Amino acid sequence: MTTMEKTANVPEPRAGDDTAPLLEVRDLHVEFHTRDGVAKAVNGVNYSVSAGETLAVLGESGSGKSVTAQAIMGILDMPPGKIPQGEILFRGQDMLKMSGEERRKIRGSKIAMIFQDALSSLNPVLSVGYQLGEMYRVHQGLSKKEAKAKAIDLMDRVRIPAAKERVNDYPHQFSGGMRQRIMIAMALALEPDLIIADEPTTALDVTVQAQVMDLLAELQREYNMGLILITHDLGVVADVADKIAVMYAGRIVETAPVGELYKRPAHPYTRGLLDSIPRLDQKGQELYAIKGLPPNLLHIPTGCAFNPRCPKATDLCRTDIPALHQVTEKDGAELAGRGSACHFWKETIHG
Amino acid sequence: MAENSKKSEAVDATPNVSEVEVSDASTTAEVEAVLDAPVERGEPILQVRNLVKHFPLTQGILFKKQVGAVKAVDGVSFDLYQGETLGIVGESGCGKSTVAKLLMTLETATSGEVFYKGQDITKLSGRALKAVRRNIQMVFQDPYTSLNPRMTVGDIIGEPFEIHPEVAPKGDRRKRVQELLDVVGLNPEYINRYPHQFSGGQRQRIGIARGLALNPEIIICDEPVSALDVSVQAQVVNLMEKLQDEFNLSYVFIAHDLSIVRHISDRVGVMYLGKMAEIGTDSEIYDHPTHPYTQALLSAVPVPDPDAREGRERIILTGDVPSPANPPSGCRFRTRCWKAEDKCAQEVPLLAVPEVFAGKKTPAAHESACHFAEEKQVVGAA
């Protein structure tokens, strides 16, 4: 079958995979100039993803997680958006300094994105086969006929039943889970090195969510892709992520490998999020709730942005912005990959 | 068989379908008197029997003829007791929101009854229906679209008083609205603001205040927290629990987030394609599910614990929910069920305590609509 051929020639060695990260975001800032003032959506984000690795970016709405992803993809609305400083290195090259033409070559073929709402991300007046084939026609210059054959292959690969018969169907004729599979197929079309999935299963039911996440994880293994998973669901993160970056008000407040984060959060915000999940033994009791509301990005509080909602805030938190500290064990041994942007991370993690 | 077990159960647990005491009030005044009478804690306040809602599918423009029906709700029965929270879970399209609308009499039922204090509200009209509607209120899912953007918060929360002026005389209304704002944790000075000036969580509080305005006895919550951020969800769930104690409310809590439903509910019903698949107390459903659909649903929930990633067994269902316009014969779940046999295609399983568990005193002995119901430990799913 065609699927077999595809998988056979895919995991070709990729240059310089082993040491250097695939993508590195350094001190990225994004702001939006609006009538009401400057909204600082992203304020100095750093993260990196290697091939085959899954980075989960966790945060509430307005925390800047999607804006960061859009900046990486280069699909940010500019204006009103603006990137005053920062670097986005893809295989060591700064994408922000590239020309539009160079970026277009990367977008889709090297870095692809899966959007949250498949119904509004697909064009309702074009058949899914045409939309899938567009990737090949535009990037590889294939003919219409060849592109359609490739589209059928793709639909097979994401396990859409009866792909041949359904290739000429329109998005509304597919169910939510199938539509999301088409989105995944579109992202996979050119076998990119990195996939950014922005809340890929938020609009789906749990049983379908399990199917889609399984498929995504399997394809990632098969192609040894890097995956940035943007989500607010702590359950999904625990299931698939390797490492986690927690965002709050445009900043990364904590980074950690997945197991560590759930066991010993080192930032009060992460701890609050974990505590507000209903647990069995708390039945009938009041849930822990982080008081207050997420900050308005036009008026981010001074000092640590979380200080008005934090139970441990002191005067220091209201004046000084905490840097992302390296988290260590009690005896001073460094914990690999762990960081916390809290003045009192020691107290938070070690009690 | 099911009858027997129900009797033995009645001692320690509340049966899910109890005897309906139909009130014999005939005149409107009598009906209103019945509706005003309080119900004691633990007594059934709302009894739903064989509720059916079919939406007709028509063809033709001038001479419409019915070519079929979307069987959104197809024979659902349950009781709601005073002071309890009944959770209803299920995937999208299983009919849970249609049940909510039927309970609110926003839709007319195709057949079946909804007894509120012994009165069948599907047959009421005029003043009696208005009195029922005062006592059953609703909180909607999306706080962004369920509030009129051109009305101030005071107008939104005060609007119920215009339809039911007997609850608050005209002079008192403003004060009453401010009290309500205070109750749901908003500043009473916000009375002249518009919905767009509030965040999602605050808007949902406004929606809850509007639901509380007429001192209802039952509040039907249709996915009240699913549109909110994680850190705000907990605040709203806490508020709803506090209000339940304070005003002695009964909730029907519809949601797809299984962990929140477990936290807030006393009993849980699982719906699939217009039918109730399984119903029981929260620990019966979550710790001892006997219906394969419930087991699959619980195992599919991502657990916020990375250590459980390897160990737990997940049942991944294949395919999608079939169309409710043309549901499978027999058991509706059989097309996705790994246990399905010929019997499942022919006989519709009844919602009753399965024979294997009947009379036994195990938590698995609760009502489950499956021919081959059995316990299967599903790890996790808090």
Q: Which of A170, A191, A212 is the last residue of a domain?
A: A191
- Residue A317: CATH number of its domain: 3.40.50.300
pLDDT at residue B379 in the model = 47
The per-residue pLDDT for range A54-96, each reduced to its tens digit, is: 999 988 888 888 889 889 988 888 788 888 889 899 888 888 8
CA distance A119 to chain B (A): 15
Q: A181 and A200 in one domain?
A: no
Tell me, yes or no, if B241 comes closer than 8 A to chain A by beta carbon. yes
Q: How far apart are CA B121 and CA A194, in angstroms?
A: 57
Q: Is A128 exposed, middle or buried (0-12, 13-18, 19+ CB in 10 A)?
A: buried
Q: How far apart are CA A324 and CA A303, in angstroms?
A: 13
In-domain check, residue A84: yes
- Residues of chain B in contact with residue A272, where contact means CB-CB under 8 angstroms, are 231
In-domain check, residue A334: yes
- How far apart, in Å, do the first and last CA atoms of chain A sit? 58
Q: A176 and A204 in one domain?
A: no
- Residues of chain B in contact with residue A234, where contact means CB-CB under 8 angstroms, are 230, 304
In-domain check, residue A199: yes
CB contact under 8 A, B232 and A293: yes
pLDDT at residue B197 in the model = 86
Q: A216 and A72 in one domain?
A: yes
Cis, peptide link before residue B292, omega less than 30° from 0: no
In-domain check, residue A97: yes
3-state secondary structure of B217: coil
CB contact under 8 A, A277 and B304: yes
CB contact under 8 A, B304 and A262: yes
CB contact under 8 A, B231 and A290: yes
Q: Which of A148, A170, A191 is the last residue of a domain?
A: A191
User: How do A251-257 and A243-248 pair as beta strands?
Assistant: antiparallel
Q: How far apart are CA B10 and CA B53, in angstroms?
A: 30
User: Which among A117, A166, A181, A207 is the top mutation candidate for probing chain B, defined by the most B β-carbons within 10 Å of its own β-carbon?
Assistant: A207
pLDDT at residue B117 in the model = 86
In-domain check, residue A243: yes
In-domain check, residue A283: no
Q: A46 and A85 in one domain?
A: yes
Tokens standing for residue A4: 């077999």
- Cβ pair A183, A118 in contact under 8 A: yes
Q: A208 and A105 in one domain?
A: yes
Q: A134 and A226 in one domain?
A: no
Q: By residue range, what is the domain housing residue A122?
A: 118-191
Q: Which helix (H) or strand (E) holds B102?
A: helix B96-103
Tokens standing for residue B377: 């430990």
pTM: 0.81
Q: DSSP states of B176-208 as a string?
A: HHHHHHHHTT--GGGGG--GGGS-HHHHHHHHH
The per-residue pLDDT for range B257-289, each reduced to its tens digit, is: 888 898 899 999 999 998 999 999 988 888 888
CA distances from B101 to A156, B82, B84, B114, B210 (A): 40, 20, 20, 12, 17
pLDDT at residue B377 in the model = 59
Which residues of A have a CB under 8 Å from any CB of B?
60-61, 175-178, 205-211, 213-214, 232-239, 241, 258-259, 262, 272-274, 276-280, 282-283, 286-291, 293-294
CA distance B318 to chain A (A): 8
Mean pLDDT estimate for chain A: 84
Q: A103 and A64 in one domain?
A: yes
Q: Which of A154, A174, A191 is the last residue of a domain?
A: A191
Q: A322 and A207 in one domain?
A: yes
Q: A134 and A19 in one domain?
A: no
CA distance A75 to chain B (A): 25
Q: A318 and A178 in one domain?
A: no
Reported ipTM: 0.76
* Regions of chain B where pLDDT drops below 70: 1-18, 23-26, 311, 377-382
In-domain check, residue A149: yes
Total domain count, chain A: 2
- Cβ pair A31, A190 in contact under 8 A: no
The per-residue pLDDT for range B368-377, each reduced to its tens digit, is: 888 888 887 5
Q: A253 and A234 in one domain?
A: yes
In-domain check, residue A285: no
Q: A85 and A10 in one domain?
A: yes
